[in-house]
Structure 1
């Protein structure tokens, strides 16, 4: 669910139900304020078979923190909003370990190079040893962390809700540099997730700008206004880059923005290759020469990654609050607000499969490996599905 945040002087504001419906597109019970498209029957050409399921604590909490699971090798790592972290065998769901942290978790997990990294509501970043869940180090950043921490060989880059980007030493958690950006008065609840490679970090900001930071110093190499505020009200002027920039091996960068456009850039200079008028707050997905975007009204659009030309559009799941897409066995994978997992053929755009995980809904993107899908529902149920043609 999308909620709102007032930055700087006022960090939390509670709106009435009518204001929430107007500003955030959510009803008081956490469901869309408008009518989602009803699910229709279709020619099912793929099945989703449950391999195992586990309950991970009490789930994502009433605020539905974006605590997406992560997979490394044969282990799936998952957490709940109260600080429970679990490691599970990816094949059968057997628990390898679990720990209860003394602080509530608020970010998606990142599992890399023997560590699990996560952020907390009180502005901590914690590194856990993948072998047993023991704490390797803890570090403090400026405010709550909702975006998954991102790593290169030396650094862990953390983007907090006040717009600050902090680089921590991956081995020790020691602060290396800090980049501070200006925040508009009103932003979407949440932040963009930075994209990190060895030399630079690409960070999308709530003011609609994309900045490229030198990882040696945190100094900006270039920044670009991706989305320009327009309209009379603060809500109309929201332009958050709340997805994660997507970089390709050949140096192209794809960026989505709320209330604005999808842009393809040349990564070293920031020059625009093409742009498309699609509003999205989700991270795009690239498979082959197709770029897949979930729009803010949950239409799924396939674009030619080279030109930006629209190839196909699927509106069968319109207004169903789809997650960002994942990819499994030739299919795009999405969760929705009623807890369904949907498959869409990546080449044709047709629905191919569907199953329901839990009525509490799914608000974090699935994690995939081959034809295996790990999906965590809002109540904490972690289910592993296998795609079978």
Structure 2
């Protein structure tokens, strides 16, 4: 018997771009379509209890813009495709402010140091005051932005869909530099998200290359080919680095690639420490000595971050279009295409909890703080869950 509930309780830019996303997912497997696994009963050891929920605008829209929410301190910030932005108390869900930017929001949100940053479908980048939602500045970059803008102390670094990376002054929005890369004729919908620290920005590109940019000038310090195009068709040759590079406290860089590999690099020079033959379009997550990766067919893999050795693999959610992983109190958190939130024990790899948020599906990564999870469904429903025990 197949059930979406624990045994313990008895029991998708343009049309062309959306089509490409589907084709690309199939290309790595050589199949005509995904065949999502049915959910099966399991022994529930963690429960997910709803604390509050709110409707945020009209959701992600028909194009499924990746408008992931953000949290800083005790406030959660979320937006809808048509321009609504809301700030809510993370504990109670009380609305602190709500504004309408009257433009199409296209990117995930970033909340840092008293500001909220987001971008629009026509290439505008907007900075809002976290306290009241007032607009502090608005700047334009070269094209549509789908990745969350990333900040260090001075700059806001923005990667647009035409392959350009633009650094803006965080205080004023003025352009500081632009880095331009070559684009293949066919790419996945979306771009990588830069990893920005004070001296440099690590940028994954649609041509399979990783560039490390000097934040003073935008000039590359080193570049390397993480994934090499192979195959005869343009779809087979997709090698996008569409996740965000992750850096460890000791200076190791972890990078995923589509139709490519997962690599660990020494961040200052780009020397390869290890590599694993896994295709992923998602940002991985590093917890201690574990690197967790969601593959393109939605298998969840735990790797030893020191060696790349596979520790465990869970294929029970295969082809369910899992989001990138988040981490909540010892458990990995994912949303799926039917709107379920799944918990997997990070050490053992077993499914330990599940609930459903909304049937419209979940395509953006959950936001977590301790044992609290904020999940935004495609229709705009933002639900806050608490993991127990």
Alignment TM class, shorter chain as reference: over 0.9
Q: Give 1:378's aligned residue.
A: 378
Residues 49-79 of structure 1: per-residue CA shift (max 9 Å, x gap): 0000000011000010000000010000000
Q: Give 1:362's aligned residue.
A: 362
Output the CA distance in 1 between the equivalents of 2:295 and 2:365. 15
Output the CA distance in 1 between the equivalents of 2:22 and 2:91. 41
Query: What count of residue pairs does the alignment treat as equivalent?
Result: 374
Deviation at 1:249, TM superposition (A): 1.0
Instruction: Provide the secondary structure at the position in 2 that maps to 1:14.
Output: helix
Output the CA distance in 2 between the equivalents of 1:34 and 1:264. 29
Q: How does 1:64-83 map to 2 (within 5 A)?
A: 64-83=64-83
Q: Give 1:233's aligned residue.
A: 233
Cα gap change, 1:63 to 1:15, in 2 (>3 Å)? closer
Output the CA distance in 1 between the equivalents of 2:369 and 2:22. 37
Q: How does 1:1-389 map to 2 (within 5 A)?
A: 1=12, 14=16, 21-23=22-24, 25=26, 33-389=33-389
Cα gap change, 1:24 to 1:344, in 2 (>3 Å)? closer
Deviation at 1:25, TM superposition (A): 4.6
Deviation at 1:24, TM superposition (A): 5.2
Q: Which runs of 5+ in 2 are unaligned?
A: 1-11
Output the CA distance in 2 between the equivalents of 1:106 and 1:16. 15
Residues 108-164 of structure 1: per-residue CA shift (max 9 Å, x gap): 000000000001000000000001000000000000000000000000000000010
Moved over 3 A (4+): 12-17, 19-26
CA contact (8 A) 2:21 2:188 kept: no
Deviation at 1:13, TM superposition (A): 6.7
Instruction: Provide the secondary structure at the position in 2 that maps to 1:296.
Output: coil
Q: Which runs of 5+ in 1 are unaligned?
A: 4-11, 27-31
Cα gap change, 1:247 to 1:93, in 2 (>3 Å)? same
Output the CA distance in 2 between the equivalents of 1:16 and 1:202. 27
Output the CA distance in 1 between the equivalents of 2:16 and 2:311. 42
Q: Give 2:3's aligned residue.
A: none
